[in-house]
């Protein structure tokens, strides 16, 4: 790597007059502002790989649930986790360096700070979602990787969780923790093999999946080819050619935020429906009842379903002293938390962002983490996996439960929340329990809730504490929120700045629908 090469390559991607920040899910904003950021993230990925002894780092170009004109970029660490959070600041500093020389200087400063061995060949893999802006941003990334001598490989349009999976497979192959074959085919085979075994001799009708016109559509079609015929999957909203349709009147965020059907879905009573988001790392389910009333089965409902099913399998396998915990965020419905605690399981609340939930979930033998928006997965600790796979069943019933449990650990993408893997997980559980969506829904009744977005002059003045459940700044605002909340039954409300959009989010829940809506509006009015 020569100074001239880096400076010349950086010169093709001038920084706009803008301050950047590595947020909830990397950098995310209008795509035209991003080329310099993506170029510099490429440099950071190279450093991170060398810092990690040449292990493979992933770079995903996506803005997930955001509108079509946005894009974004985030890094994936060697085991498929989100970038270690103390490196986010280096990404932010690199993205904000004011000249090509400053970019190079900061890069070499980091090399020195971490005493990075320059002989190590860095390795980076990358992928993108289906946005119109993605190819140009991929080019900016490649130019950075080439400028600093990275051995790289592109996977084209992939779901975010697929790239996480491949990163982990590449870094673990040939070890006792080998995660799978590091290809898309390997991903489909791993999930489908587990699914087909869990669904052998079962059939569970059909599910309709709205793919938000994003990359999840073609990938789900691909996955479908590997699945047995135990369920029929109908794919809708899978037009990835018309860029403007991405996340438009469709997708998990549309359904969860608006608590309504996508207009393109005409739901049959008690049939199962699910929506993915733009990069297929989130999923929510829903149905309409016999009176055509819409019911949402969100991330909280998926978490409780998964935790209780896995808990039962552990118990029926004869495995003892096994800890299961559920990790949520402030958005978790109060009823879900109460329900989980009633089952005798511990709950933990972390700030928004799967990186926080993932970290907290590692404290358990089995950590189930889901954001209410449908982003989540289940983690089994390495020692828990060893115990499960070494366990000797003492009866045919224990043997059956243990076999199911082993397959569940393979079905779940343990690197990150994965809508396709979560879809199959929910389908398996519902089939095993012989549950229709209303039976699943009946586990507990959600408190009516409302999520609003407020456009504010500067979202950075909103500072939170207590896992984002309280504001510390602007001074006095939390007291005003508390006073409003005190006027309603079973009420709760909080305000937090988004890490992915230029807005502040307002959440409210209360005993009745009208009270939840009113509380959200009143809290939102405080922000004007
Ligand atoms: C991203 C994050 C999620 C987060 C969501 C909204 O989701 O990965 O953890 O819940 O953004 O974050 P915020 O409220 O800070 O804007 P996705 O699916 O868009 O990548």
Cross-strand bridge partners of residue 453: 505
Q: What are phi and psi of 487, to 5 degrees?
A: -85, -5
Ligand 1 atom having least distance to the Cα of 72: 20
Residues 6+ apart with CB under 8 A from 139: none
The answer to whether the CB of 371 is under 6 A from ligand 1 is: yes
- pLDDT more than 70, % of the chain: 100
Ligand 1 atom having least distance to the Cα of 501: 16
Residues 455 and 433 placed together within one structural domain of the fold: no
Is 372 annotated to bind ligand?
Answer: yes
Residues 207 and 108 placed together within one structural domain of the fold: no
25 contacts 92 by C-beta, under 8 angstroms = no
Q: Does pLDDT of 313 surpass 90?
A: yes
CA pair distance 180, 169, nearest whole angstrom: 5
Q: Rounded to the nearest whole angstrom, what is the distance from the C-alpha of residue 288 to the centroid of ligand 1?
A: 27
* pLDDT score at 23: 87
Residues 16 and 147 placed together within one structural domain of the fold: yes
* pLDDT score at 502: 86
The CATH number that applies at residue 492 is 3.30.310.50
User: Does 171 reside within a domain?
Assistant: no
* pLDDT score at 515: 97
By C-alpha distance, which of 528, 459, 467 is closest to 498? 459
Is 250 annotated to bind ligand?
Answer: no
User: Per residue in 178-232, pLDDT tens?
Assistant: 999 999 999 999 999 999 999 999 998 999 999 999 999 999 999 999 999 999 9
Q: Does pLDDT of 126 surpass 80?
A: yes
Is 323 annotated to bind ligand?
Answer: no
User: Does 181 reside within a domain?
Assistant: no
pLDDT band at residue 2 under the 50/70/90 scheme: confident
At 313, is the secondary structure helix, strand, or coil?
helix
Residues 435 and 458 placed together within one structural domain of the fold: no
Choice from 22, 23, 24 to test ligand 1 binding pocket (greatest atom count within 8 A of CB):
24
Q: How far is CA 349 from CA 248, 299, 340, 359, 511, in A?
A: 31, 14, 13, 12, 22
> Which of 111, 137, 157 is the endpoint of a domain?
157
The answer to whether the CB of 82 is under 6 A from ligand 1 is: no
User: Does 36 reside within a domain?
Assistant: yes
User: Per residue in 421-448, pLDDT tens?
Assistant: 999 999 999 999 999 999 999 999 999 9
Residues 269 and 229 placed together within one structural domain of the fold: yes
User: Does 163 reside within a domain?
Assistant: no
CA pair distance 493, 507, nearest whole angstrom: 5
* pLDDT score at 500: 86
Which is more confident, 513 or 502? 513
CB atoms within 10 A of CB 159: 32
Is 497 annotated to bind ligand?
Answer: yes
Cross-strand bridge partners of residue 296: 286
Q: Rounded to the nearest whole angstrom, what is the distance from the C-alpha of residue 352 to the centroid of ligand 1?
A: 7
The CATH number that applies at residue 267 is 3.40.120.10
Residues 325 and 397 placed together within one structural domain of the fold: yes
CB atoms within 10 A of CB 175: 8
Q: Rounded to the nearest whole angstrom, what is the distance from the C-alpha of residue 353 to the centroid of ligand 1?
A: 6
The answer to whether the CB of 498 is under 6 A from ligand 1 is: yes
Q: Does pLDDT of 492 surpass 90?
A: yes
- pLDDT more than 90, % of the chain: 96
Ligand 1 atom having least distance to the Cα of 354: 9
3-class DSSP string for 152-221: EEEEEECCHHHHHHHHHHHHHCCCCCCCCCCCHHHHHHHHHHHHHHHCCCCCCCEEEEECCCCCHHHHHH
User: Does 147 reside within a domain?
Assistant: yes
* pLDDT score at 402: 98
The structural domain count of the chain equals 4
CA pair distance 39, 35, nearest whole angstrom: 6
- Which residue, judged by its Cα, is nearest atom 17 of ligand 1? 64
Q: What are phi and psi of 183, to 5 degrees?
A: -140, 165
Tokens of 518: 């009113």
User: Per residue in 386-432, pLDDT tens?
Assistant: 999 999 999 999 999 999 999 999 999 999 999 999 999 999 999 99
Please give the distance of CA 353 from its chain centroid, rounded to a whole number.
8
Residues 6+ apart with CB under 8 A from 17: none
Handedness of CA 404, 162, 426, 79 (dihedral sign): positive
The answer to whether the CB of 496 is under 6 A from ligand 1 is: no
Segment 142-170 shows an average pLDDT of: 98
In the block, residue with structure tokens 């309709």: 208
Residues 209 and 99 placed together within one structural domain of the fold: no
Q: How far is CA 26 from CA 22, 38, 59, 73, 104, in A?
A: 5, 11, 10, 6, 21
The answer to whether the CB of 298 is under 6 A from ligand 1 is: no
Choice from 353, 469, 502 to test ligand 1 binding pocket (greatest atom count within 8 A of CB):
353
Q: Does pLDDT of 459 surpass 90?
A: yes
Residues 271 and 303 placed together within one structural domain of the fold: no
Give the domain extent around 85. Answer: 3-157
Segment 283-297 shows an average pLDDT of: 97
Residues 272 and 371 placed together within one structural domain of the fold: no
* pLDDT score at 528: 82
The answer to whether the CB of 354 is under 6 A from ligand 1 is: yes
Ligand 1 atom having least distance to the Cα of 23: 15
The answer to whether the CB of 282 is under 6 A from ligand 1 is: yes
CA pair distance 350, 394, nearest whole angstrom: 39
Residues 32 and 134 placed together within one structural domain of the fold: yes
The answer to whether the CB of 505 is under 6 A from ligand 1 is: yes
Is 500 annotated to bind ligand?
Answer: yes
64 an active-site residue? Answer: yes
Residues 6+ apart with CB under 8 A from 33: 16, 18
User: Does 174 reside within a domain?
Assistant: no
CA pair distance 257, 120, nearest whole angstrom: 46
> Which of 269, 296, 323 is the endpoint of a domain?
296
Triad 516, 519, 525: Cα angle to 5°: 140
Ligand 1 atom having least distance to the Cα of 373: 10
Is 381 annotated to bind ligand?
Answer: no
Q: Given its phi and psi angles, is residue 360 left (phi above 0), alpha (psi -120 to 50 degrees) or beta?
A: alpha
Tokens of 228: 């047995």
Residues 22 and 144 placed together within one structural domain of the fold: yes
Tokens of 373: 């928006």
Q: 347-350 and 294-297 as β-strands: parallel, antiparallel, unpaired?
A: unpaired
CA pair distance 336, 330, nearest whole angstrom: 12
CB atoms within 10 A of CB 349: 18
Q: Rounded to the nearest whole angstrom, what is the distance from the C-alpha of residue 504 to the centroid of ligand 1?
A: 13
* pLDDT score at 24: 83
User: Per residue in 319-377, pLDDT tens?
Assistant: 999 999 999 999 999 999 999 999 999 999 999 999 999 999 999 999 999 999 999 99
* pLDDT score at 490: 94
> Which of 141, 157, 173 is the endpoint of a domain?
157
Q: Does pLDDT of 282 surpass 90?
A: yes
Segment 496-511 shows an average pLDDT of: 94
Q: Rounded to the nearest whole angstrom, what is the distance from the C-alpha of residue 43 to the centroid of ligand 1?
A: 24
Instruction: Single out the catalytic residue among 64, 308, 336, 421.
Output: 64
Q: At what angle do helices 216-224 and 184-198 cross, to 10 degrees?
A: 60
Residues 453 and 468 placed together within one structural domain of the fold: yes
CA pair distance 150, 376, nearest whole angstrom: 31
Helices (H) and strands (E) in the chain, counts: 18, 19
Residues 6+ apart with CB under 8 A from 476: none
CB atoms within 10 A of CB 439: 12
The answer to whether the CB of 333 is under 6 A from ligand 1 is: no
């Amino acid at each position: 790597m020569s100074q001239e090469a880096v400076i010349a390559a950086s010169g093709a991607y001038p920084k706009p007059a803008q301050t950047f920040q590595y947020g909830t899910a990397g950098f995310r904003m209008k795509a035209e502002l991003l080329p310099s950021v993506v170029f510099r993230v490429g440099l950071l990925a190279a450093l991170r790989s060398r810092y990690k002894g040449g292990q493979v780092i992933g770079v995903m170009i996506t803005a997930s649930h955001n509108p079509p004109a946005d894009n974004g970029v985030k890094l994936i660490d060697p085991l498929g986790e989100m970038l270690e959070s103390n490196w986010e600041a280096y990404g932010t500093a690199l993205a904000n360096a004011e000249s090509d020389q400053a970019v190079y200087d900061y890069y070499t400063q980091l090399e020195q700070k971490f005493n990075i061995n320059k002989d190590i060949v860095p390795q980076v893999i990358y992928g993108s979602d289906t946005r119109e802006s993605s190819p140009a941003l991929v080019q900016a990334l490649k130019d950075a990787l080439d400028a600093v001598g990275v051995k790289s490989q592109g996977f084209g349009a992939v779901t975010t969780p697929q790239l996480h999976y491949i990163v982990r497979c590449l870094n673990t192959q040939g070890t006792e923790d080998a995660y799978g074959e590091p290809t898309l085919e390997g991903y489909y085979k791993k999930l489908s093999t587990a699914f087909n075994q869990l669904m052998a001799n079962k059939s569970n009708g059909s599910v309709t999946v709205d793919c938000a016109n994003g990359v999840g559509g073609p990938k789900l079609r691909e996955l479908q080819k590997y699945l047995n015929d135990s369920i029929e999957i109908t794919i809708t909203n899978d037009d990835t050619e018309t860029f403007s349709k991405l996340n438009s009147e469709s997708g998990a965020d549309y359904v969860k935020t608006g608590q309504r059907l996508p207009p393109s879905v005409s739901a049959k009573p008690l049939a199962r429906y699910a929506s993915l988001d733009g990069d297929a790392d989130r999923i929510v389910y829903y149905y309409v009842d016999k009176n055509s009333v819409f019911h949402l089965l969100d991330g909280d409902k998926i978490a409780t379903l998964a935790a209780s099913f896995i808990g039962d399998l552990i118990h029926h396998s004869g495995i003892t002293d096994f800890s299961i915990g559920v990790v949520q965020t402030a958005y978790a419905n109060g009823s879900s938390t109460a329900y989980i605690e009633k089952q005798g399981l511990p709950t933990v609340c972390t700030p928004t962002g799967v990186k926080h939930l993932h970290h907290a979930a590692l404290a358990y033998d089995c950590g189930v983490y889901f954001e209410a928006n449908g982003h989540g997965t289940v983690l089994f600790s390495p020692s828990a996996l060893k115990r499960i796979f070494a366990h000797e069943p003492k009866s045919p019933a224990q043997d059956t439960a243990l076999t199911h449990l082993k397959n569940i650990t393979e079905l779940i993408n343990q690197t990150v929340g994965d809508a396709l893997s979560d879809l199959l997980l929910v389908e398996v559980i519902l089939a095993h329990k012989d549950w229709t969506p209303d039976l699943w829904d009946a586990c507990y009744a959600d408190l009516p809730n409302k999520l609003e977005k407020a456009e504010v002059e500067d979202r950075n003045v909103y500072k939170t504490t207590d896992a984002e459940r309280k504001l510390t700044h602007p001074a006095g605002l939390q007291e005003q929120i508390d006073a409003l909340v005190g006027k309603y039954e079973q009420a709760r409300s909080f305000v937090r700045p988004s890490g992915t959009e230029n807005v502040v989010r307002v959440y409210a829940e209360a005993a009745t629908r009208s009270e939840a809506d009113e509380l959200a509006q009143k809290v939102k009015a405080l922000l004007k």
